Structure 1
Amino acid sequence: MKFLKRALFIIFINLILIASVSADNLNHPIEFSIDLKNKKLIAIKELINQGKTKEALQQLYKVIDEVENQKDTVAIINSHRMLADILRDNGDFKKSNLNYSKIIPLIKSDYETLQYIYFKKGGNFQLDGIVDSALVNYIKAIEIGKKIKNKEDLKAKIHANLSGVYYLKANYNKAIEHSKIAANYQKILGNLDIEAGIINNLGGIYYMQGKYKESLKMFQKALSIVGNGKNELDKKTRRSAYINMAYAYSALDDYKKAYEYQDKYSVIDDSLKQELKYKEIAEIESKYKVAKKEKEAQIEKNKRLKAEYWTFGLSIASVILLLVIYIIFKLYRLSKKNYKLQIAQEQLIYNSAIEKVKSDAQSKILVATLDGRIEERRQIASVLHDNVSALLSAASLHLYASKKQLKDSTPIEIDKSQAIISDAADQIRDLSHKLISSVLLKFGLTVAVQDLCEKASNSTLKISVNSKNITRFNQNFEIKLFNIINEIVNNMLKHSKAQNGVIKLEQLNGNLQVVIFDDGKGFDVDKVRNKKGIGLSQIEARIHVLGGLINIVSSNSGTRIFISVPIVY
């Protein structure tokens, strides 16, 4: 249970740090000199603001050709920087950095612009997953910043992003150092809410080092800064600090405090969800008041009509009075009935929300447990491959050297020892590959799935693979998808009684689509899911947490499984 909580906490902290990395989207104005070409750049900038990016790019490329032919240095810098910003905003980080690099030699001693360019390049590399290059550019930006007075806002963001890079490289001491610098700059600027968020992240880094008491100090400091602030950033910081403190106290075995801060987190979480409901209630109340006024106006109109027709006789007036009373009575009964229906509807909505929360929590717990197992298997495989195998190889070399020295008088025990060591090395290598596929780690998802299908195919079942537009993705993402496919292939081998199977992989519009089908006997999807489908539950839970979808169609002529998940690069 304690391991599970730690795993959940680590996932939460990673999300916080990734959020801080995205802070490098700094708006830096492009300066224009007053001539015809730069007036064109101003017009292009206006097109971008209007969302006409394609038209802006067409005009911008023409301007770049003009200014480069005329060797107008200022206009070249401005035009390439504008192009780099557009490419960056549209996700083409490599081309964006090429344009930033073109203008660096032209900037010379304009240190503010140089610092900005290196900051932007570092952000591009970081968003593109090239962490080491991001680190180099952030460090250059910091060195240039030493020549600049003020500009604490940009310096704070550089140090915050650099902290995120060091965190990804597991250099927690450096991550702490730069987080503290970033927090101090935000304090100088008076951005208390941002300072609190950085300090909250700092507590998370301490937690990753196992320094739970230091992490608690940081979380408490973040809470003291945000206080009872009402803006969204204050609320989010206060909410994340509470849950972080709950996990930190849990790691210290202080479960009373852990549950206390978990309750505080739950109260804030519920209140955030309740805000939308309050708005809905206000809208309903407003409509009710309007309806009530309309009803009152109708009653007044009826009274005037009764007064006008009074002269026609007391009998007509009595009939009208009775009719009005009857209508009011009916309206009262109808409103009472509607009120009961409204209460029942709200109860159903509330119960549905509770069930959804429970289902989401169970899925996340299941996936966190499986991810924990994968991480343990990866660590064991690393130890077997990098340490134990190396020791066995060294022992074998020593025995070989001993045989050389003994020459013809080698004892038979040495030969047998060498054979035993060789057999042990083979078994350890096989065990390491079973724990985590070395083919997957070295060559990627496509080759790993092909290798899996070749090994799974036999005289009764042949499984083929088709892939389209598949590249290398984030390693954890590839491992999770490979495990899902592996589980489905195992089920096909055990239960389908199929003769042929096909696995199709395709990268399409930012999603990885996997289609698996066979010509086996099929199965009852609902029955397997409800009674004995722990494997199916694991697959669906993993895909749900990855933000994807799965569709299974099965009959006595075969089974087709469609999976689509957003790609993580």
Structure 2
Amino acid sequence: MKTLSKIILILFLAIFFETLSNKKEVVFNTTSFHIKLNDSTLIKKLESIDSIYVEKKFDLALKNAFNLLDISKNKNKEVFFKTNYIIGNIFYETSSFKDGIKYFRNNVNNILENSIFLDKKGINYDNNFLLIQNYLRLGSSYHRLKERDTLKFYRDSTLYYYNKVIDFNSLDDNILDTKAVAYSNLSALYINDSLYDYAKNFANKSIEIHKSRNDKINHAAALGNLASIYLIEEDYNLAKKIYLEGLELIENNKSPKAVRFKASLYGNLSWAMYKLKDYKAYEFQEDSYVIKDELRDNEFRGIVKTINAKYDVNNAKKLVLKQEENKRLKDQRTFWIYGIGSLIIILSLLFWLNYYKLKQKNLGLQLSQSELIQHQNIEKIRSESQVRILNATIDGKESERKQIAETLHDSVSALLSSANLHLQATRSQFNGNTPIEIDKTQEIITEASQKIRDLSHTLVSSVLLKFGMEYALKDMADKYSNSKIKIDTNIGDTRRYHQNFEIKVYNIIQEFINNILKHSKAQNAMIEMHEIEGKLSFKIVDDGVGFDKTLITNKDGLGLNQIEARIQMMQGDFFIDSVKNNGTVINVLLPILEKEEINLV
């Protein structure tokens, strides 16, 4: 079961990259439509909202879109349709699928009902493309809801709207791209139902579209999806052949998109070859890592180039300042020579007057100093012992939580899934007259599986273990954000580190966020993280009520003492800047613990 879980994860990662390659499904750009709109002010507002949406500033985009929706309703139907579509997309991107469905469905009805924009065939080109985009989003929304809940209504609605997309009879490139996405999503739907023949059929249809348009990059991605189905069926030879075919299509393509697909295809190919006991698989896995490292290196070289350009200017400034400083020091030197000479004479007189008294007190001071040093050493040893005990206790808890989480996820969850599959297979033996006890048993197993997943994630973040710090922190921010507080993230160039190091950092940040939720009364918070010269730096900012820094040691309830002890044991630096009624800024800098490298002989 653990092997099957890994394969399914690879498959859905491939499908995810395929979806990303079709930006027309997600990002709506007003310039892609050919109808000339009369109201230039409305067009500019729509373009502005679209730009804000692309930048993922969803709250601002949604606010402006609602305003434009009211303005354009009776003035410009085309702007009204497109604004509806953006609002639906914002709800989709923020996982509010039911809210998004309402706007996509209203948009479909409005487009079909407003004959003023229809041609003789029933609808013009631009609205044809907008209509198919809304159908695709409706299918994808119900698809997401089906993943959360196994209601038959969600599955039927998913199929209905995907078929609406497929039924469009057009050779336009944009519409063909959208149909290719629908085929890929249908393939994923049938994979989840274990109907692999259907999944292959739709994956092949997606491949045919990309091949007919000579779109080698998306053709390679679609081949990767098809090969992943064969991985699930354990037909490793055929999977290997198809992965190689996809890699051949983009072998000489150096575009960022093609490079990302190469990394994914090399990674999946290495798994297929590993299962075939072809240990050249490790070379392909290394190729995947090299490509990802090259992408990071290119970004780093751009940063270095910028720094070097600024460095020459800074050197010139420093030279001028140094000359001015030397002149100032020369003028001061003469003054201080006379001043210091006079001061030495005065101090010498005072010294000899007090020498006798100081000599008498010397023995007493030495004794007091020895006692103070001993006391400081004892306190230091006690403090270090307490920190080590605390750190060992926290490490033990983290290790135990991780073991329990892995047992729940890999063993108990797998057993429940197996039981559910057996019950599903049993249904066919009743010829449609399935006992209600089987339905109820499946419902109980599904609920138990969900609770186990939730408990496993609570103990140790599965997102952290599988995908790393960036996705885990984004998941944390999304989980804790609500109507009272919005938590955002700004994650720079990070990578995978030693697993124990990632767990410790994640737990420290989670404790800070818990403190914000409990005590700060903040409306907004931000988690920032980036890597600086072998160290991991993160900053947490909120706009809450703040607190008096001088009273930190007395606020044990905030858990700051434990956090500081943990950071001290990790040889890191910890800074807090907080003023009452003016928010809090927390900075942490930690030496990175690299993940262990596996050396193959």
Scaled by the length of structure 2, what TM-score is found?
Answer: 0.49
Paired residue secondary structure (1:260): helix
- Assess if the C-alpha contact under 8 Å between 2:88 and 2:103 holds in 1: yes
- Conserved in 1, the CA contact under 8 Å of 2:65 and 2:86? no
Q: State the shift of 1:144 in Å.
A: 2.1
Cα distance change, pair 288–223 in 1 and its aligned pair in 2 (3 A): same
What is the Cα deviation at residue 31 of structure 1?
Answer: 5.8
Q: Which amino acid aligns with 2:11?
A: I
Give the superposition deviation at 1:93: 1.2
- In structure 2, C-alpha distance between the alignment counterparts of 1:88 and 1:31, rounded to whole Å: 21
Rate the CA distance shift 1:233–1:7 in 2: closer, same or farther, 3 A: same
- Of 53, 58, 67, the residue aligned with 2:67 is 58
How big is the shift at 1:559? Answer: 11
Query: What percentage of residue pairs aligned between the two structures are identical?
Result: 17
Q: How does 1:292-371 map to 2 (within 5 A)?
A: 371=409
Question: Is contact 1:20–1:161 with CA below 8 Å preserved after alignment?
Answer: no
1:482 maps to amino acid: L
Give yes or no for contact 1:126–1:134 (8 Å, CA) kept in 2. Answer: yes
1:247 positional shift: 0.6
Aligned to 2:16: 18
User: How many angstroms apart in 1 are the aligned matches of 2:36 and 2:294?
Assistant: 52
- Match runs of 1:385-396 below 5 Å: none
Q: Which residue of 2 aligns with 1:163?
A: 184
Counterpart-to-counterpart distance in 2, 1:543 and 1:57? 40
Q: CA deviation digits over 1:446-483, x for unaligned, max 9?
A: xx7xxxxxxxxxxxxxxxxxxxxxxxxxx75x541134
1:377 to 384, 409, 415: 415
Instruction: Give distance in 2, aligned partners of 1:40 and 1:293.
Output: 48
CA distances 1:247-275 after superposition (whole Å, capped 9, x unpaired): 10122222x12222222223223333333
- Judged with a 3 Å threshold, the aligned counterparts in structure 2 of structure 1 residues 293 and 114 are, in CA distance, closer, same or farther, namely closer
Letter in 2 for 1:249: M
> Match of 1:222?
246
Question: Is contact 1:122–1:135 with CA below 8 Å preserved after alignment?
Answer: no
Letter in 1 for 2:43: I
1:482 to 2:455 alignment: yes
CA distance in 1, matches of 2:268, 2:197: 20
Aligned CA distance change for structure 1 residues 214 and 541 (closer, same or farther; 3 Å):
farther
Partner Cα distance (1:542, 1:371) in 2: 21
- Change in Cα spacing, 1:181 to 1:125, as seen in structure 2 (3 Å) is closer
Alignment of structure 1 residues 25-424 onto 2, 5 Å: 25=26, 27=28, 29=32, 41-42=42-43, 44-49=45-50, 51=52, 53=61, 54-64=63-73, 66=74, 75-76=76-77, 79-91=80-92, 92-103=99-110, 104-106=112-114, 107=118, 109-110=122-123, 112=125, 113-114=127-128, 116-127=130-141, 129-130=144-145, 132=155, 133-145=157-169, 148=170, 150-170=171-191, 171-254=195-278, 256-283=279-306, 371-382=409-420
Separation in 1 of the partners of 2:81 and 2:269? 47
**Corresponding residue number in structure 2 for 1:354:** none
Shift of 1:137: 1.6
CA 1:263–1:367 in structure 2 vs 1: closer, same or farther (change >3 Å)? Answer: farther
Cα distance change, pair 44–19 in 1 and its aligned pair in 2 (3 A) = same
Task: Label 1:542 to 1:126 Cα distance change in 2 as closer, same or farther (>3 A).
Answer: farther
Task: Return closer, same or farther for 1:271/1:389 CA change in 2, 3 Å cut-off.
Answer: closer
Residue 459 of structure 1 corresponds to which residue in structure 2? none
Contact 1:249/1:257 (<8 A) preserved:
yes
AA paired with 1:88?
Answer: N
> Could you give the per-residue CA deviations for residues 375-396 of structure 1, whole angstroms, max 9, x where no partner exists?
421233226656789999xxxx
Output the CA distance in 2 between the equivalents of 1:207 and 1:374: 24
Q: Distance in 2 between matches of 1:369 and 1:202?
A: 32
Counterpart-to-counterpart distance in 2, 1:267 and 1:116: 40
Aligned pair in 2 of structure 1 residues 196, 550: CA closer, same or farther (>3 Å)?
A: farther
Q: Which amino acid aligns with 2:261?
A: T
Deviation at 1:151, TM superposition (A): 0.8
Partners of 1:196 and 1:225 within 8 A in 2: yes
Deviation per CA, 1:32-84, whole angstroms, max 9, x where unpaired? 5676xx556435424535747434532432442x36xxxxxxx5465234323
The separation in 2 between residues aligned to 1:164 and 1:240, in whole angstroms, is: 19
Q: Write the distance in 1 (CA, Å) between the matches of 2:429 and 2:37.
A: 71
Shift in CA distance, 166/364, structure 1 to aligned 2, threshold 3 Å: farther
Deviations 1:317-370 (A, max 9, x none): xxxxxxxxxxxxxxxxxxxxxxxxxxxxxxxxxxxxxxxxxxxxxx99997775
| Structure 1 Cα separation of the partners of residues 321 and 476 of structure 2 | 60
Where 2:167 maps in the other structure, the secondary structure is: helix
| Contact 2:243/2:265, CA 8 A, preserved across alignment | yes
Residues 60 and 79 in structure 1, CA contact (< 8 A), matched pair in contact too: yes
Q: How far apart, in 2, do the equivalents of 1:550 and 1:213 lie?
A: 48
Distance of aligned partners of 1:115 and 1:172 in 2 relative to their CA distance in 1, 3 Å threshold: farther
* Structure 2 unaligned regions, length at least 5: 53-59, 93-98, 147-154, 324-400, 461-474, 483-498, 516-555, 560-601
Is the contact made by 1:246 and 1:259 (CA closer than 8 Å) also made in structure 2?
yes
1:441 maps to a residue whose letter is: T
2:446 aligned with 1:441? yes
Is the Cα–Cα contact under 8 Å of residues 142 and 158 in structure 1 kept in the other structure?
yes
Q: Once the 2 structures are TM-superposed, how far is the Cα of residue 548 of structure 1 from its aligned partner? A: 8.9
Mapped partners of 1:364, 1:244: distance in 2: 27
Equivalent AA in structure 1 for residue 414 of structure 2: E
Q: 1:90 to 1:381 in 2, by over 3 A?
A: closer
Range with greater deviation from structure 2 (116-125 or 52-61): 52-61
> CA–CA distance in 2 between the matches of 1:85 and 1:127?
14
How far apart are residue 130 of structure 1 and its match?
4.0
Who is 2:539 aligned against?
Answer: none
How far 1:212 sits from its partner (Å)? 1.4
- 1:8 maps to 6
Contact 2:84 2:103 survives alignment (8 Å): yes
Moved more, 259-268 or 239-248: 259-268
Aligned to 2:584: none
2:253 is paired with a residue whose SS is coil
What is the rounded CA distance, in whole Å, between the counterparts of 1:47 and 1:284 in structure 2?
A: 32
* CA gap 1:111/1:281 in 2 versus in 1, 3 angstroms: closer
SS, match of residue 227 in structure 1:
coil
Q: 1:542 to 1:511 in 2, by over 3 A?
A: farther
Give the letter aligned to residue 252 of structure 1. L
Q: Tell me, yes or no, if the aligned pair for 2:85 and 2:104 is still in contact at 8 Å.
A: yes
Q: Spell out, residue by residue over 1:382-430, the C-alpha distance to the aligned partner (whole angstroms, 9 max, x if none).
A: 26656789999xxxx9xxxxxxxxxxxxxxxxxxxxxxxxxxxx9xx9x
Instruction: Give the 3-state SS of the residue equivalent to 2:254 in structure 1.
Output: coil
Note closer, same or farther for the CA distance 1:15–1:102 as it changes in structure 2 (3 Å cut): same
Corresponding residue of 1:330 = none
Cα distance change, pair 32–480 in 1 and its aligned pair in 2 (3 A): same
Matched with 1:511 is: 479
How has the CA–CA distance of structure 1 residues 550 and 144 changed in structure 2, closer, same or farther, with 3 Å as cutoff? same
The separation in 1 between residues aligned to 2:459 and 2:405, in whole angstroms, is 16
- The CA deviation at 1:485 is 6.0
What is residue 422 of structure 1 aligned with on the other side? none
Q: CA deviation at 1:102?
A: 1.8
How much does 1:216 deviate? Answer: 1.0
> Does the 8 Å CA contact 2:217/2:249 hold for their aligned counterparts?
yes
